[in-house]
Amino acid sequence: MREISNRAVLTVARHEGAWSVELAGEHFGQSADKEVAKAAAHRRARTLQDSGQACQIRITGEHGFGARS
C-alpha cells in the first residue's frame, strides 16, 4: 500500500461524553449517536475529496478496540 503524506485523517471518537469528529485538532459533528458523527465525517471527507485532498476516516471505540474513556 502506498503512503500518502498529505492525507487528511478524520477520526470519529468519544469526546467530552459524546461522539465527535476530529480533524487537525478541530472537533465537530458532536452527537450522542455514533452514526450521526460518522455521517458528519463522511460529509467533510467528501468535501475535502471534491477539492482534491486525499482523506481517511478512522473510527475508534468500536468492538472495544482503541476505546477511550
C-alpha cell at 28: 465537530
Whether residue 19 has pLDDT greater than 60: yes
Q: Give the domain range for residue 45.
A: 8-64
Residue type, 18: A
What is the reported pLDDT for 68? Answer: 52
Domain-located, residue 69: no
Residue type, 8: A
Domain-located, residue 29: yes
Average pLDDT of the chain?
Answer: 88
What is the reported pLDDT for 69? Answer: 46
What is the reported pLDDT for 61? Answer: 79
Phi, psi of 9 (to 5 degrees): -110, 115
Name the domain count of the chain.
1
C-alpha cell at 8: 487528511
- Stated pTM of the model: 0.80
Domain-located, residue 33: yes
- Tell me: the pLDDT tens digits for 33-61? 999 999 999 999 999 999 999 999 999 97
Whether residue 5 has pLDDT greater than 90: no
